[in-house]
Amino acid sequence: VRNVSLKPACSDIESNSPPAHFSSQSHWLTAEERTQVLLDLKASGWSESGERDAIYKEFNFKNFNQAFGFMTRVALQAEKMNHHPEWFNVYSKVQITLISHDCGGLTKRDVKLAQFIDKAAASV
């Protein structure tokens, strides 16, 4: 018989806390936090994904160079955070979905990256 842990994938099996390589930003949101951050994110154009616990936003830039510059800036920050977006780019349009795959849903890391993404887009 094999023992299978039903604890979340983003928690350490022994202590039920995030593994050392995750910052405190990888924790799930409380119900109250989730309600507030979703209101704030929706006000800035993000939407909830219908199929899974994720957020989505589409950005339109003047041209491909602006879109690519934006993506480069986001990529560098995502790498620092070890938290990578799902994205799609065609010419001046960039579509981004954020989800913490290791946790199976929306976390504080997604919120932090979404806030950075909005600032990066505004500065282009």
Per-residue model confidence as pLDDT tens digits over 62-109: 999 999 999 999 999 999 999 999 999 999 999 999 999 888 899 999
Domain boundaries, the chain: 25-122
| Residue burial 6-25, b: 16+ Cβ < 10 Å; e: rest | eeeebbeeeeeebeeebeeb
Q: Is 103 exposed, middle or buried (0-12, 13-18, 19+ CB in 10 A)?
A: buried
**Assign residue 62 a region: left if phi > 0, alpha if psi is -120 to 50, beta otherwise?**
alpha
Q: How far is CA 61 from the centre of its chain?
A: 21
* CATH architecture of the domain formed by 25-122: 2-Layer Sandwich (3.30)
Task: Kindly report, residue by residue over 32-73, the tens digit of the pLDDT.
Answer: 999 999 999 999 999 999 889 999 999 999 999 999 999 999
Q: What's the pTM value of the predicted model, to 2 decimals?
A: 0.78
